[in-house]
């Protein structure tokens, strides 16, 4: 048995070396969000009355579906409500990507087979991946606890919040460990684990607004029912720990029943000859990108409908307008004209950031094709570099436009149905969503520039997206300097609805994106492949 785990320590050290920047950045981000939110809520809601005023608004069913219920009217509970779902999703994604990257991705690339020829046991790679992801979750949970205690909030609630985050990370690391054994592709493994996360979020939303027992089917629901700062339920932590044990045992069992490089679910052989649609780079890009695009279309259609549906309920919540500090914050987030307009503008900003995640994924697929060795044989044919890149970039740019359009239409349908104005709200919100497009293209341009000029640093594109998300999520709450907020392209997008539409900043964003694209493609045309 010891031989099956041989080399685990070396693989852990190698993983720490490879992720020496990525993992510390994630840990810091996960640690500062709750503490920063709590510190600023202290100034935003300085009295018990102000907390009571905002708590009446947060019982709106649409907001409960988005963020869960507020279990108690207190500063700590409000912080857990505001940042809890975001933190749980982020720490789960970090765990999923870490496990898949250090197990299935290494296997798919052929590097694990080379390592296996040395003194590395059968279970070493999976164990190292789980240790890296689990360690990140535990350290993040510890820092979250210390940060919340540092803001002056009760220690019991801080410990509960840190533990719920840590065990959720451990749970989804184990889920990713199982997913990595089922398929031969790292992308498919990540997709399976993320689909489980999405399903857990939806079950939690259904349970929080309907039959309560449905929430107990979801790992996300379990974590939220630990109830930090609201009569903590410590025993609930046993549920995700049981999931960790079950999925980890299943992952190890599956490792022992498959060949290296293979998955438990065998890939179906393709047709003997390619369809005419695959004759060119555009058809190939469509074949590679279509699954990802379809998944994002479905996700943003649902997200747009839920977020749009929440707007009408806010309009009837008089307690919202009674809190001037809250109104000022929402005005900074989404524009000056009315609570519904401020909310919708803030929501479309979040949708824009979310759609940009697809933009980055689709753009960086070019680098994945290059590092996998599939690009070089293609370029030995009559297919030129720029023509090949154009096929992928077409889906990155137009695919993002499609996602924003779908989100805008679904939000307009949901809000318009409640306001009895579908004909007016659908085109209005379609435009409000599409105004985010130039900012998303700037991030695509950053990815192309790095791909063409500094290909080893393409992952910095993800760091740029995370920075934009943090500036959008907590920039207003933290009162950051305007020059720092303006570093995000989304800061220059008109806050629609609620503010005047101005085309000048959009033209500047398009110019910046075009310059980045031009520089990146010029560099790609001249540099070596590999």
pLDDT digits (tens, 9 = 90+) for 278-336: 777 788 888 888 878 888 888 888 878 877 776 666 555 544 455 555 555 555 544 44
CA distance 269 to 115: 28
Q: Which of 19-23, 258-262, 397-401, 484-488 has the highest mean pLDDT?
A: 397-401
CA distance 410 to 89: 23
Of residues 73 and 110, which shows the higher confidence score? Answer: 73
Q: What is the pLDDT of residue 54?
A: 64
Angle in degrees, 0-180, between the axes of helices 385-419 and 437-453, rounded to the nearest 10: 160
* Longest CA span, the chain: 71
**Tally of residues, the chain:** 530
Hunting for tokens 């049981």 — which residue is that? 242
Q: Is the pLDDT of residue 266 over 80?
A: no
Q: What is the pLDDT of residue 58?
A: 64
Does residue 190 contact residue 96 with C-beta atoms inside 8 Å? yes
Peptide bond into 440 cis (omega under 30): no
Q: Which of 48-62, 221-235, 475-489 has the highest mean pLDDT?
A: 221-235
Does residue 247 contact residue 175 with C-beta atoms inside 8 Å? yes
Q: What is the pLDDT of residue 326?
A: 52
Percent of the chain with pLDDT over 90: 23
CA distance 341 to 329: 13
Q: Is the pLDDT of residue 77 over 70?
A: yes
Hunting for tokens 């640093």 — which residue is that? 457
Does residue 138 contact residue 27 with C-beta atoms inside 8 Å? no
Model confidence pLDDT, tens digit, residues 54-72? 665 566 666 677 778 888 8
Model confidence pLDDT, tens digit, residues 244-261? 999 999 999 988 777 666
Model confidence pLDDT, tens digit, residues 44-56? 777 777 667 666 5
Q: Is the pLDDT of residue 518 over 80?
A: yes
The two three-digit tokens of residue 431, written as one number: 């435009």
Q: What is the pLDDT of residue 267?
A: 65
Q: What is the pLDDT of residue 476?
A: 60
Q: What is the pLDDT of residue 175?
A: 94
In whole numbers, what is the pLDDT of the chain averaged over residues?
81
Q: What is the pLDDT of residue 162?
A: 93
CA distance 322 to 319: 5
Q: Work out the number of other CB atoms within 10 angstroms of the CB of residue 331.
A: 21
Q: Which of 135, 113, 109, 131 is nearest to 122 (CA)?
A: 113
Model confidence pLDDT, tens digit, residues 438-463? 999 999 999 999 999 988 888 888 88
Whether the model pTM is above 0.85: no
Model confidence pLDDT, tens digit, residues 231-245? 889 999 999 999 999
Dihedral angle, C-alpha 25, 30, 32, 36, nearest 10 °: 140
Element (H, E) at 494: none
416 SS3 class: helix
Q: What is the pLDDT of residue 168?
A: 94
Q: Is the pLDDT of residue 130 over 70?
A: yes
- Please report which confidence band the pLDDT of residue 431 belongs to, taking 50, 70 and 90 as the band edges: confident
CA distance 140 to 153: 18
Q: What is the pLDDT of residue 319?
A: 47
b/e 418-457 (16+ beta carbons within 10 angstroms → b) = beeeeeebbebbbebbbbbbbbbbbbbbbbbbbbbbebee
């Amino acid at each position: 048995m010891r031989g099956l785990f041989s080399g685990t320590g070396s693989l852990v050290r190698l993983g720490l070396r490879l992720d020496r920047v990525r993992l510390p950045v994630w840990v810091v981000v996960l640690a500062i969000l709750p503490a920063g939110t709590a510190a600023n809520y202290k100034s935003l809601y300085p009295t018990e009355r102000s907390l009571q005023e905002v708590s009446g608004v947060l019982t709106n069913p649409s907001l409960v579906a988005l963020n869960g219920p507020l279990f108690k009217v207190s500063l700590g509970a409000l912080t857990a409500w505001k940042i809890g779902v975001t933190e749980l999703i982020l720490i789960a994604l970090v765990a999923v990507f870490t496990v898949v990257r250090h197990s299935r991705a290494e296997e798919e690339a052929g590097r694990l087979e080379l390592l296996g020829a040395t003194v590395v046991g059968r279970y070493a790679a999976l164990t190292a991946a789980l240790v890296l992801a689990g360690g990140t979750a535990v350290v993040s949970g510890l820092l979250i606890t210390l940060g919340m205690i540092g803001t002056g909030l009760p220690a019991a609630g801080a410990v509960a919040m840190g533990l719920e985050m840590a065990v959720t990370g451990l749970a989804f690391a184990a889920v990713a460990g199982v997913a990595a054994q089922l398929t031969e592709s790292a992308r498919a493994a990540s997709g399976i684990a993320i689909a489980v996360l999405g399903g857990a979020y939806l079950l939690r939303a259904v349970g929080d607004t309907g039959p309560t027992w449905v929430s107990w089917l979801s790992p996300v629901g379990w974590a939220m029912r630990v109830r930090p700062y609201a009569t903590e339920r410590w025993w609930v932590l046993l549920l995700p720990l049981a999931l960790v044990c079950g999925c980890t045992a299943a992952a190890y069992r599956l490792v022992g029943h498959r060949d290296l490089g293979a998955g438990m679910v065998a890939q179906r052989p393709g047709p003997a000859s390619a369809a005419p649609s695959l004759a060119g780079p555009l058809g190939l890009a469509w074949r590679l990108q279509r699954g990802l695009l379809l998944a994002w279309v479905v996700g943003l259609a649902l997200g747009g409908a839920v977020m749009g549906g929440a707007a009408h309920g806010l309009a009837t919540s008089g307690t919202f307008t009674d809190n001037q500090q809250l109104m000022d914050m929402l005005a900074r987030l989404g524009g000056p004209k009315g609570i519904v307009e401020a909310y919708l503008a803030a929501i479309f900003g979040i949708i824009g950031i979310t759609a940009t995640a697809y933009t980055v994924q689709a753009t960086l697929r070019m680098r994945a094709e290059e590092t996998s060795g599939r690009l070089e044989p293609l370029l030995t044919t009559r297919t030129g570099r720029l023509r090949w890149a154009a096929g992928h970039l077409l889906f990155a740019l137009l695919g993002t436009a499609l996602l924003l359009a779908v989100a805008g239409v679904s939000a307009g349908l949901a809000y318009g149905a409640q306001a009895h104005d579908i004909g007016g709200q659908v085109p209005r919100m379609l435009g409000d969503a599409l105004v985010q497009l130039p900012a998303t293209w700037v991030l695509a341009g950053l990815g192309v520039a790095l791909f063409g000029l500094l290909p080893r640093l393409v992952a910095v594109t993800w760091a740029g997206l995370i920075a934009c998300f943090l500036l959008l999520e907590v920039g207003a709450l933290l009162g950051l300097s305007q020059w720092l907020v303006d570093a995000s392209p989304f800061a220059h997008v008109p806050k629609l609805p609620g503010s005047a539409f101005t085309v000048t900043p959009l033209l500047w964003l398009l110019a910046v994106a075009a310059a980045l694209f031009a520089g990146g493609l010029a560099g790609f045309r001249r540099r070596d492949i590999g």
